[in-house]
Amino acid sequence: MAVGAWVLLLGLYSRQVRACGGGLAASDSALPPTGATEVSPETSIILVTGGLAIPADLHLLAEGVELPLPAIASIGQGMTASGGASFWRLLGAPLSPSTSYVLETGAGASAKVLTQFSTAASYDKGPATPATISGLRLWRARYPLDRVAAGGCVFAEVEGYSALEFTAPALPGTPAAEVVNVLSLAPKNGGGSQVLVFSGLTEIPGGLVDHAIAGDGVTLPGGGGLSAAAALWKPELAADLDYCATITSYGRNDLALGIVSSNVACAPVTSVGEASAAGSGSGGCAIAPRASSGTRAPALLALAGLIAAAIAGRRPGPRRAAINRRR
C-alpha cells in the first residue's frame, strides 16, 4: 500500500475510521516469525499485511515441499509496532511436529520469505492468562463543520474517543511481541461490533492526553483533554448507549488453547459538546493525500511517536503529543 493511503477499516456499517498521521504501513510478514524454533504444532500461522488484501502467489512449504494452501480467514485490521496492518489466519489442520515451515510469496529469484520457523515434537500444555481490562472510558465530541476534513485529524462532525486500560495476556511459548489481540467494542444491549486488531502495542492511543490541547481537540473539565491527533482509533459511538469491550488474544498453541478472551468491561458514552479549536482550524496532522513529502514528514513522525508511546505503554505528554502545528 502506498505511503499516505493507509486507513483503518473497522467493521461497523463499513465505516472508514482513519489512522491520523497516515502513511505508515507494516511490511508483509507472518507469525511465528522467521527464526522461531520449538513452535507448538497446535499453532495457526498468522499473516500480517501492510495492505487490505492477501498477497498474490502465496506458497506454504514443509521441509521444502509445497503444501496445498489452506483457507485464509480475516482477523481484522489494525496496528502493529511498525504501522497499519491487516491480519489473516491460515486455517486447517495442525502443523506437523518437528518440521521446518516456510511461507513465501513469489517463486524462484523473486520469492520473498514472510516467515521460516520449525515446530516442536509436541504441543505446549501450559495454561494461558487472558488480558485483563481494568478501565474503559468513552467520549463523543462534536466539531464545527468547517473543521471537518480541513487538513487536520478531524474526519467527521461527531467523533469518538476512548481510554482503555488493560494488562496484556500471557500465552504459553509466545513472546509478548508476537501476541495478536482483537479488541471488540459493541453496544451493551446488542448491536454491531467495531474491531481493532493490534500486536506489539501495550496500549491503544484513543486520544486522551494529560496536557493542554493544541490543534483540534477538546479540553476536559477534570484536566487534560481529547486530542484528535493523538487518537489512533476513533470508534463510532452513540450518545445514549453503553458499550462493552473485550480482548481476544492469539499466539502460539492457539489451536490447543481455544478462545482466550478477557473479562468484559462496559462504560457509558460522555458527550463533550462542540469542541473548541485550541489552535488553528486546520491544525492537527496535515494528512492531505496530495501533500508533498516535505509537508507530510511531520505527520509521519507524529504517528511514529504515537506508536512508540503505545509500545512503551505511556500516554503522550506535553513534549511528545502527536500534534503537527503549522509553522
Q: State how far the Cα of 80 lies from the Cα of 57, in Å rounded to an integer.
A: 24
Q: State how far the Cα of 222 lies from the Cα of 232, in Å rounded to an integer.
A: 23
Banded pLDDT at 275 (limits 50, 70, 90):
low
Span 40-72, pLDDT tens digits: 999 999 999 999 999 989 999 999 999 999 999
By three-state DSSP, how is residue 266 classified? strand
Report DSSP letters for 27-46, one per residue: PPEEESPTT--SB-SS---E
Span 111-139, pLDDT tens digits: 899 999 999 999 988 899 999 999 999 99
CA torsion 236→239→245→250, rounded to 10°?
A: 0
Ordered by start, the domain boundaries in the chain are 8-118, 132-277+295-312
Banded pLDDT at 290 (limits 50, 70, 90):
very low
The more confident residue out of 308 and 105 is 105
Q: How many residues does the chain have?
A: 327
**The pLDDT of residue 223:** 77
**The pLDDT of residue 217:** 76
Task: Find cell 488484501 and name the residue.
Answer: 53
Q: How many Å from the N-terminal Cα to the C-terminal Cα in the chain?
A: 29
Contact 266, 241 (CB under 8 A): no
Strands (DSSP E) found in 214-319: 217-219, 225-231, 242-250, 260-261, 265-274
**The pLDDT of residue 116:** 98
Span 224-234, pLDDT tens digits: 889 888 888 89
Kindly give the residue spans of alpha helices, DSSP state H, lying in the chain. 254-257, 293-312
Among 118-132, 215-229, 266-280, name the one with the lowest average pLDDT.
Answer: 266-280
**Residues 33-45: what's their mean pLDDT?**
97
pLDDT at residue 165 tops 60:
yes
pTM of the predicted model as reported, rounded to 2 decimal places: 0.79
Kindly give the residue spans of alpha helices, DSSP state H, lying in 88-216. none
The more confident residue out of 295 and 24 is 24
Contact 175, 308 (CB under 8 A): no
Task: Find cell 485529524 and name the residue.
Answer: 153
pLDDT at residue 12 tops 70:
no
Task: Mention the CATH class of domain 8-118.
Answer: mainly beta
Q: State how far the Cα of 325 lies from the Cα of 327, in Å rounded to an integer.
A: 6
The more confident residue out of 300 and 145 is 145
Span 67-110, pLDDT tens digits: 999 999 999 999 998 889 999 999 989 999 999 999 999 877 88
Q: State how far the Cα of 129 lies from the Cα of 125, in Å rounded to an integer.
A: 13
